[in-house]
Structures are given as C-alpha cells and as structure tokens.
Amino acid sequence: AATQNQRLTIAVQKSGRLSEQSIKLLKACGIKFNLHEARLLAHSQNQPIDLLRVRDDDIPGLVMDGVVDLGFVGENVLEETRLERVATGINADYKALRPLEFGQCRLSIAVPKEDSYQCLTDLNGKRIATTYPYLLQNYLKQQGIQASTAVLTGSVEVAPRAGLADAICDLVSTGATLEANGLQEKDVIFTSQAQLIQRPEALSPAKQALVDQLLPRLDGVQLAKE
Ligand code: ATP
Ligand code: ZN
C-alpha cells in the first residue's frame, strides 16, 4: 500500500467540487505540485508527499483501510461511508484532523411542489430516492418514520417526475436544481463541509512529523481567510 512507502500519501478528489480548494489549500501550505496531466498519482516537488487523485466516494474507505495516510473529503460522503461500514462490519475508524472552510452543502428531503406535504410523518410508506441511503435511513429511524429508498448515484432530482419515488433526499446548496425540477426543500437532515482526515493506525515518525508541520500551516491559511 501507499502507506508503506516513505512518502505521505494524501487522497484528493480528482475532479469535482472539492478538487480545486483541496489542492489550493495544500499549495498555500507550501507544498508544490505539478498537476498538468491526468495521472492518478502526483508527486510533490519539494516535500516527500504524494497526491492520489480519485473519486470523492472512494476517499473515506481508502483512509479507513489505511491505503492512504490523509484525505480531503465531504462530511456527507464520510458519514455515509462510516454508517455503511458499521452496518456491514467493516472497520470505520479514522482520525478527524480539521474541518475545512469549503464544500458547504446540506442533505435535504424535497418533495414535488404540488405535493400536499405537511410534515415528516407524511413520508410514512413513501419511497425516497437518494444517493445516501444510510444517512437517510439513519435519520428516518431517529424520527420514527418508515419509508423505503430508491438508491441512485445520479439524477436523483428527476426520480419523482420519472415515477421512481415520491420524494428525494439530495445535496442542496442554492436550491436552483430543486427549483428547476419542480421540487421544494422540506427537511435538512445533514449539514456538511469538507474535512481533512487521517488513517486510524499511527503514522511512521517521519510521516507524523510532516503532518505536525502541515496542520499549523493549514490553520494559519484558514485563519488568514477569515
Ligand atoms: P466524483 O466524480 O468525485 O464522484 P461527484 O459528482 O460525486 O464527484 P461533486 O459534485 O464534485 O461530486 O461533489 C463532491 C462533494 O462536494 C460532495 O459530496 C459535497 O461534499 C460537496 N458539495 C456538493 N455540492 C456542493 C456545492 N454546491 N458547493 C460546495 N460543495 C458541494
Ligand atoms: Zn462522488
């Protein structure tokens, strides 16, 4: 595994909403990278650090399994992975290092505008389309609601119109996507931002020293932005 070599391996989203700011933050901490190509692994030019560029959904598992040392991930994906792994008996430990000031969004339940929805209990017996079945079922259980889920990894917002579900549970930031699909946001079930996490097992002294150097820099960069 990447964790057996001497270079600190950090997983970042390859391309998406967390990519740019994750890289920008590392660069602001003085770590130089050349990301000119579509390589999976990018070596820092001035530090013994490698970037592994993958889909955001893979990052929590890679960190929990100790395949990489650190990862930049959205708390929504982190918590979904954790719940799924706990439910299936797979190690779900990680170390939370820092909350980060980007990637803010919320996971919300939305229903078609014309729906007579009053409150959560109206979802009893209904079907909800989502990419986050564990976060959703966890919430419904806490609220004492019994609803089924339709798991979709994309196009969740079209599910009601397509007759696949009565409601959706999806990420929202401005609400424009919901609006465009004739949906109305009803309940926020989880609020999220990006987080820097570390694998559960101890790092080698050399890698730990790198992390100890990185964190105060990261705090400095985040403070300066406030
Ligand atoms: P991938 O191909 O890596 O799987 P994706 O399509 O699943 O990408 P993105 O849409 O890039 O993922 O979102 C990545 C993460 O960014 C989300 O899981 C969430 O934590 C965060 N996010 C989602 N929506 C927003 C938003 N509007 N603004 C900022 N961050 C967001
Ligand atoms: Zn994803």
Residues 20 and 42 both lie in one domain: yes
Q: Which of 59, 104, 105, 107 to mutate to test the pocket of ligand 1 (most atoms within 8 A of CB)?
A: 105
Residues 95 and 200 both lie in one domain: yes
Of residues 35 and 4, more confidence is placed in: 35
Residues 98 and 205 both lie in one domain: yes
> Quick one: average pLDDT of 87-98?
98
Residues 148 and 206 both lie in one domain: no
Cα(169)–Cα(154) distance, integer angstroms? 12
* Mean of per-residue pLDDT scores for the chain: 95
**pLDDT tier at 1, thresholds 50, 70, 90:** low
Residues 10 and 72 both lie in one domain: yes
Residues 167 and 77 both lie in one domain: no
Residue type at position 120 = L
Beta bridge partners, 105, equal 192
Residues 12 and 70 both lie in one domain: yes
> Quick one: average pLDDT of 22-28?
97
Q: Which structural domain range is residue 128 located in?
A: 105-192
Residues 135 and 187 both lie in one domain: yes
Which ligand 1 atom is at minimum distance from the Cα of 56? 3
**pLDDT tier at 34, thresholds 50, 70, 90:** confident
Contact (Cβ atoms closer than 8 angstroms) between residue 10 and residue 196: no
The pLDDT assigned to 2 comes to: 61
CA 133 to ligand 2 centroid distance, Å: 14
The pLDDT assigned to 48 comes to: 97
Residue 90 has pLDDT above 70, yes or no: yes
Residue 4 has pLDDT above 80, yes or no: no
Question: Nearest residue CA, atom 31 of ligand 1?
Answer: 103
CA 18 to ligand 1 centroid distance, Å: 6
Residues 86 and 174 both lie in one domain: no
Ligand 1 pocket, CB under 6 A: 13, 16-18, 55-57, 74, 76-77, 103-105, 171, 173, 192
Cα(136)–Cα(151) distance, integer angstroms? 11
Residues 184 and 208 both lie in one domain: no
CATH number at residue 199: 3.40.190.10
Residue 29 has pLDDT above 80, yes or no: yes
DSSP 4: G
Residue 24 has pLDDT above 70, yes or no: yes
Ligand showing the shortest atom-to-Cα distance for residue 80:
1
How many beta carbons lie within 10 A of that of residue 164, not counting itself? 15
The pLDDT assigned to 39 comes to: 82
> Tell me: the pLDDT tens digits for 181-225?
999 999 999 999 999 999 999 999 999 999 999 999 999 999 988
Residue type at position 223 = L
Q: Which of 14, 15, 17, 73 to mutate to test the pocket of ligand 1 (most atoms within 8 A of CB)?
A: 17
How many structural domains are present in the chain? Answer: 2
Residues 150 and 219 both lie in one domain: no
Residues 197 and 183 both lie in one domain: no
Contact (Cβ atoms closer than 8 angstroms) between residue 79 and residue 107: no
